[in-house]
Amino acid sequence: MSYWTVAKTLPQREHVAAQCLAWQRFDTYLPLIQILRPNREPRIAPLFPNYLFVLIGETGRWYQIGKTIGVARVLCDMYGPVRLPHQEIAKIKKRERNGFVVLPKPRPRWVRGEKIRIARGAFRDHFAIYDGMCAADRHCILMNLLGRSVRMEVSDHDLLPLAF
């Protein structure tokens, strides 16, 4: 019975490993994502960097995978190569649109205008108004200091919901 397994590839050699495995008549699956960047062309990257799914057929010749150019090793447990059910690969393929896996948008932790509490730092236990994301893992908040609203940047770890 055929099953999917996982090959760990050398860094940035997923496409090379997939091509070399195809020459050996292995079916492979390399899920790709499109990373959108402002004012630049989108970047295409593997969903799981340094990993590639390989279909092991009825012959069970998995040992050849580890000796393929671009492959570092096959992920194994004590019984041999790790077996992935066909349903797991089908779930990933089901999320594909135009050849790229579409990931769900992360739900924002806070909504703009929501009252929050500062958990650490000089303003610990002070309240503020959430004003949105500023940069990666940085949030903008509005605090009332000396009678005026001051905008500040804080780390994600420094904020707590008001009800906490």
48-83 residue pLDDT tens: 999 999 999 877 789 999 999 999 999 999 999 999
CA dihedral (43, 36, 27, 13) in degrees, to 10, reads: 30
The domains of the chain are located at: 3-101, 115-161
Whether residue 152 has pLDDT greater than 80? yes
Q: Which fold has domain 3-101?
A: Alpha-Beta Plaits (3.30.70)
Q: The whole model's pTM is what?
A: 0.69
| pLDDT at residue 115 greater than cutoff 80 | yes
CATH architecture of 115-161: Roll (2.30)
Instruction: Write down the pLDDT at residue 11.
Output: 96
pLDDT of residue 105: 79
Which pLDDT does position 12 carry in this prediction?
95
| Rounded distance between C-alpha atoms, residue 26 and residue 119, angstroms | 53
